Structure 1
């Protein structure tokens, strides 16, 4: 009987302590882990929102880059293993929480179970572009040529099992063509070879492709999203081209370790939402060719879980395993 009373008291004390900590949150600086090197889109997005979030929360938000591992697994694992007190959170992407765990031979973490979801910060369109080897061909002409010469046309991506690779596979399935996949270690070398005529096509994010598009070294064939892009008004969407299942968007969201107090999650979400509503943040995201999202924790979790299921089914059916 005595042990039961002591156990009940301990549980009550722990609950009261946890509630008090959530009510006092935040009371010290918060770390934002970015599982990629400085200077990339994920890093810039983290720094853009952290400045405004810091003003709302009243504490410093310190961005720490933790690159390494396949698909950013080193930094992502650090987020998952952190104490669930809200003082260590991080950036998640379609790669870290979608394609990487879907194609890994032995996933190191489960996006559906190992994280608390705060908000999807921003999304970026993806596109299909052609290099000089295809001249000025439009999407219909490229598909027709690919059907006449199965496996002869090639497409580049930033790596096996990445979002660009899987987007290419979706394109093959939707259009009924067979392409030769040429994986690279990152988007820049892939873009260089497409622009140089060594590879015919590339699936990529708008931001990294933009300098090549503006210089005329490659030309866009189709873009993801529900509407045409202001930056490329003459380029049809995949949906307009009759290929809606190809449309994929890169995204950058905020997550924490599993089992975070809902009140802490809500406090962080409110700060993100307010940051995304400011003209300064909107303007800086526009320069990155990204669109502010700011969905709720519940919406963000559902988005990730649904997308992950789709990537897993695609990887399994097409026998795709990341290097």
Structure 2
């Protein structure tokens, strides 16, 4: 393995997420596509200002939402501690984020605070609960939007990746299905940083990690999803999560992207096929599909994520990370890097994280 190529992919994943976040800042959460086209034209192709009275009102083109703020917070923690330190991350949340929000949606960095963060703030600040008793039931991708940095750092250590992402996720979201899908996304991203492609073979590679015990998923079948044989233990591999389905779905999304008989045209309509809402089960299929379809075209992947409307910011963050890991930092158009607010600092953090990946 070429360490420089790995570092390029790792930095591409991190910067891809920041770019996706900022690209969707203006046209965020338009569920009426006619209204979206009226305000931003037929195609959103670059950073844009939010419109007055809309989400993130007052911010400027290229700036980050609160998702980007928290991603940067965790990224700095990983870099400075050379790995995941939960106590340090929680301290940063207490000192750097929570004093800036008040438990209402329209508050804090980015001028919007998501449900899971509002819940954690109430339990931590108002109810004085310790970290670990702050998780809520939001079924969204908010944990993925920050733990993708953990996935990059532990790309070659799937057992540590799964443990750290699980631990970080339950700080704000404690539903087991959400946790399992968040860990699965991290496992996919780790494979892409290694140099694998998001294609129909990705799930088989992930299932090998389940069978070896590196990923804590329950496996009820043998290789290639064949039924267990008489006399096999029940189950062949028991894990924390109820099933391996979160690891199996990415391959199906990739297969759909490559199947000539399946057409989502134009590709931004993936948001209509899989759903515009915020829930993780709407967001992940769309991100996997677009990142497989445009595995070598960062611009097309992330802009189709943005132009699909609805919760396009989460879709663009996830798609940006997955596609950025496949094309690498060198494959991201320079105009997206140049137009990103605070790009120099973010780039230094991304490159620092990438340079400390332990390659195995």
Using structure 2 for the length normalisation, give the TM-score: 0.27
Higher strand share: 1
> Between Structure 1 and Structure 2, whose CA radius of gyration is higher?
1
Higher helix share: 2
